[in-house]
Amino acid sequence: MISTVLVANRGEIACRVFRTCRELGLATVAVYSDADASALHVREADAAVRLPGSAPAETYLRGDLIVKAALAAGADAVHPGYGFLSENAEFAAAVADAGLVWIGPPPAAIEAMASKTRAKELMGLAPLTDVTEADLPVLVKAAAGGGGRGMRVVRELSALESELTAARAEALSAFGDGEVFVEPYVEGGRHVEVQVLADTHGTVWTLGTRDCSLQRRHQKVIEEAPAPGLPARLVEELYERSAAAAKAVGYVGAGTVEFLVADGRAHFLEMNTRLQVEHPVTEEVYGVDLVALQIAVAEGERLPADAPAPRGHAVEARLYAEDPATGWTPQAGVLHALEFHDRRSADAPRVRVDSGYASGDTVPVHYDAMLAKVVVHAPSRAAAVRKLADVLERAAVHGPVTNRDLLVASLRHPEFQDPGRLGTGFYGRNLDALARPRDGEAYAAVAAALADAAGSAGRFGGGWRNVRSQDQVRVYGAHEVRYRPLRGGGFTVTAPEGVRAVAAAPDRVRLEVDGVVRDFDVARYPEGTVHVGPYRLTVRPRFTDPREQTAPGSLLAPMPGTVVRVADGLAVGDQVVAGQPLLWLEAMKMEHRITAPASGTLTALHAVPGRQVEVGALLAVVQEDPQ
């Protein structure tokens, strides 16, 4: 019997496993990097062991240090979570060799399926070797791990070599394994997967399907169970092939078999020999705790002959710290508030939030930028989708820029709400429209301005103002707000037109727009951001400080990170063309390509491989050729 579990992971999944361990009466041990010293998963564990350093390669990918940590803390079992070493057969073997219980599949099964190249061979498929124009487009893919890391779509043969290099570097950093392979890229279709669970006695459950088609940069954004609208015969085929794959390798524990469904056919993609990020939607539909079942199987328990029956529908959205204005680059910084306000009655849809952060925590630059997974279970798909959009919109998410608006807009988009139109090309068709600022942002800016003015009036005396006859002006992002303080208190809004200030306090403003009255909650923070309901606004001075101006053609770091590569042979004085890759930054386990903003001459190059840079740091300067 297991008594103490060490989770060889961090963040949300570590917290998720600890929650089940507490319910089962098991003690818990966390491991943490220096960047995670005060992280939520460390605070929630009964004991914690430091892994010196911050980069994954020197901390969460060091299996030898994690095994030592488990022994030192008195743990008798290790749960790998997902990512990092979760699909590393050598690590699984090292855990067992140390006399610890491995809460996962046998090393041989991991070896057979965790490498996507070997998994395809086992399923009678083979990756491409000599790629020609006729094979395009192709997909470069990491043999280990997932989450879109080490993955590139190649549409031009000339780009293949550079994309292979980038994918290898990204895979090595994220998973400690730089092996990649090339396979045909099937345009469109749906990403559908089957949850399997097997015990040591030969029982294999298939716990339904999940649809994970809404992906951006091959990273899943919204997932649901069951996959809607699939023909019964195809679902049965998916179950049979998934169970056969598990039995073929003597699989034990929780795993997922992934397919691309196109033209009514299922194309095998890979088998993930671990718990998936999106496992909560399956848990909600089937009424099970997959982590508890993983532990039970690891202790040798026998699963019932039949899996439980499904009920209802569940949808999950991944809330990320990322900025759409800078190409969806990951963001870091203080998460001032992370609160989900669920107005529900006893019979309302169930809302679940899995997170590795709490209000006041700092999001570091070294790891995945996911803040939380928000899940809703309801009797129908339509009810779950509607409720999830509402919960996300009402949430207080204050701090770094997030993809919250994208999630809400995606859930409410007619194409997503029609199961017959689901497909992996959703964001390719709709991302630009979904990322546009919402109409209400201008009114949120008015609320921010009046709240700030109300606070100033309180600080300087109720009648304080500049010249009474002139408009006061405040600028938030792209929105300029003009107003005048009234002699008896209150304000008149002069721009934008059609807005009447009903009441204003430093933290709450009531506005009337076209006869409709709405309240806005306002929170401001030292770095110059103001959060008004679901809107995040940046305070901007009316006039630009000349000291903040940069030379034309300056390439600034869009995020804090590490310079990992500079283009081969690149030197000051070189001629470059618009869009040409110049250097690569690594942040949050992914590589980000920095390209020339225009055709011209490289006049400065400050990027050096290995150099840590902050957001806004000058990396290079390209002087544009005269027209």
pLDDT of residue 15: 98
Please tell me the distance from the alpha carbon of residue 584 to that of residue 571, in angstroms, as a whole number.
15
Tell me which H or E stretch contains 71.
helix 63-73
Q: Do 507 and 520 form a contact (C-beta atoms < 8 A)?
A: no
Strand-pair category, 535-540 with 612-613? unpaired
Q: What is the rounded distance in angstroms from the CA atom of residue 192 to the CA atom of residue 211?
A: 5
Instruction: Note the pLDDT of residue 114.
Output: 65
Proportion of the chain in helix, strand, coil states, percent, rounded to 5: 30, 35, 40
Contact at 8 Å (CB) between 408 and 173?
A: no
Each residue's pLDDT tens digit, 228-244: 999 999 999 999 999 99
Mean pLDDT of 175-199: 88
DSSP letters, 456-495, are: HHHHH-TT--S-TTS-EEEEETTEEEEEEE-TTS-EEEEE
Residue 246 burial by Cβ neighbours in a 10 Å radius (0-12, 13-18, 19+) = buried
Residue after which a domain boundary falls, among 103, 126, 142: 103
Residues 158 and 271 in one domain: no
Q: How far apart are CA 255 and CA 271, in angstroms?
A: 7
Helix axes 404-411, 426-434, angle to 10 degrees: 120
- Place 347 in a pLDDT band, splitting at 50, 70 and 90: low
Band of residue 139 on the pLDDT scale cut at 50, 70, 90: confident
* Residue 430, pLDDT score: 93
pLDDT of residue 549: 52
Q: Tell me the whole-structure pTM to 2 decimals.
A: 0.84
Domain of 91? Answer: 4-103
pLDDT score recorded for residue 458: 55
**What are the residue numbers of the active site?**
274
Residue 357 and residue 216 share a domain = yes
Please report whether residue 237 resides in a domain: yes
Give the whole-number percent of the chain exceeding pLDDT 90: 67
> Looking at residue 98, which CATH number applies to its domain?
3.40.50.20
* pLDDT over 70 at 539, yes or no: yes
Q: Amino acid letter at 531? A: H
Q: Identify whether residues 170 and 195 lie together within a single domain.
A: no
Q: Is residue 67 part of a domain?
A: yes
Extract the tokens encoding 452. Answer: 């700030």
Q: Among 411, 434, 457, where does a domain finish? A: 434
User: Is 108 domain-assigned?
Assistant: no
Q: What pLDDT band is residue 183 in, cutting at 50, 70 and 90?
A: confident
Q: Give strand ranges (E) for 46-151.
A: 47-50, 77-79, 101-102, 138-142
**Same domain assignment for residues 427 and 308:** yes
Express each pLDDT in 67-126 by its tens digit.
Answer: 999 999 999 999 999 999 999 999 999 999 999 999 999 999 999 886 677 777 777 777
Residue carrying the six token digits 């401001």:
524
Q: What is the pLDDT of residue 194?
A: 98
Predicted pLDDT of residue 128? 78
339 within a domain of the structure (yes/no): yes
- Bridge partners of 329, per DSSP, are 323
Separation of alpha carbons 287 and 317, rounded Å: 19
pLDDT value for 170: 85
Kindly state the percentage of the chain with pLDDT values over 70: 94
50, with CB counted inside 10 A (0-12, 13-18, 19+), is middle
Cα dihedral 583→586→591→594 (10° resolution): -30
Number of alpha helices (DSSP H) and beta strands (DSSP E) in the chain: 15, 38
Residue type for 436, please?
R
Q: 79 forms bridges with which residues in the sheet?
A: 7
Name the nearest CA neighbour of 560 among 323, 319, 327, 333. Answer: 333
Question: Going by DSSP bridges, is the β-strand pair 77-79/4-7 parallel, antiparallel, or unpaired?
Answer: parallel
Question: How many domains in the chain?
Answer: 5
Range 369-394 average pLDDT? 97
Can you tell me the distance from the alpha carbon of 114 to that of 111, in angstroms, rounded to the nearest whole number?
Answer: 6
pLDDT of residue 547: 42
Alpha-carbon distance 16 to 508, whole Å? Answer: 35
Q: Which residues of 69-89 are buried (b: 16+ CB within 10 A; e: fewer)?
A: bbeebebbbbbbbbbbbbbbb
- pLDDT for res 468: 52
Look at residue 361 in the predicted model and tell me its pLDDT: 97
- Higher-confidence position of 469 and 25: 25
User: For position 425, which CATH number holds?
Assistant: 3.30.470.20
Residue 252 lies in a domain: yes
**Residue-level pLDDT at 186:** 75
> Residue 325 — φ and ψ, nearest 5°?
-75, -15
First to last CA, the chain: 75
542 against 139, higher pLDDT: 139
Q: Report phi then psi at 53, rounded to 5.
A: 110, 180
Instruction: Tell me: pLDDT of 422 over 50.
Output: yes
Q: 13 with 82: CB under 8 angstroms?
A: yes
Neighbours of 19 (CB within 10 A): 15
CA pair distance 363, 368, nearest whole angstrom: 9
Q: Are residues 405 and 510 in the same domain?
A: no
Which residues are registered as beta bridge partners of 334? 362
Q: Among 400, 434, 468, where does a domain finish?
A: 434
Q: What is the mean pLDDT of residues 575-603?
A: 86
Q: Helix axis angle, 290-298 relative to 11-24, nearest 10°?
A: 70
Q: Are residues 377 and 478 both part of a single domain?
A: no
Return the closest-CA partner of residue 354 out of 11, 21, 35, 1.
11
Helix (H) or strand (E) holding 547: none
- DSSP string computed for 249-308: TT--EEEEEEEEEETTEEEEEEEE-S--TTHHHHHHHHT--HHHHHHHHHTTPPPPSSPP
Say whether pLDDT at 542 is over 60. no
- State whether 276 and 398 are in the same domain: yes
The pLDDT, as a whole number, for residue 463 is: 42
Highest mean pLDDT pick, 54-58, 376-380, 456-460, 607-611? 376-380
Based on the fold, state whether residues 550 and 536 are members of the same structural domain: no
> Over 60: is that where the pLDDT of 317 sits?
yes
On whether the CB atoms of residues 550 and 618 are closer than 8 A, the answer is yes
Task: Report the CATH number that the domain containing residue 171 is assigned in CATH.
Answer: 3.30.1490.20
Question: How large is the average pLDDT for residues 145-152?
Answer: 74
Lowest mean pLDDT among 322-331, 409-418, 463-472: 463-472
* Domain membership flag for residue 200: yes
- Whether residue 600 has pLDDT greater than 60: yes
Residue 164, in any domain of the structure: yes
- 240 and 384 share a domain? yes
CB count in 10 Å sphere of residue 159: 16
Task: Please tell me the predicted confidence (pLDDT) of residue 197.
Answer: 98
In a domain, 304, yes or no: yes
Confidence of residue 541 (pLDDT cuts 50, 70, 90): low
- How far is C-alpha 35 from the chain's CA centre? 19
How many angstroms separate the CA atoms of 146 and 257, rounded?
A: 13
Predicted pLDDT of residue 460: 39
Q: How far is CA 274 from CA 37, 110, 380, in A?
A: 26, 9, 28
Give the mean pLDDT of 386-396: 96
Q: Indicate if 52 and 28 belong to the same structural domain.
A: yes
Question: Quick one: 99 and 26 in the same domain?
Answer: yes
Say whether both 266 and 287 belong to one domain. Answer: yes
Average pLDDT over every residue of 11-30 = 98
For residue 92, CA distances in Å to 111, 167, 626 come to 10, 25, 59
Tell me the mean pLDDT in the region 353-369.
94
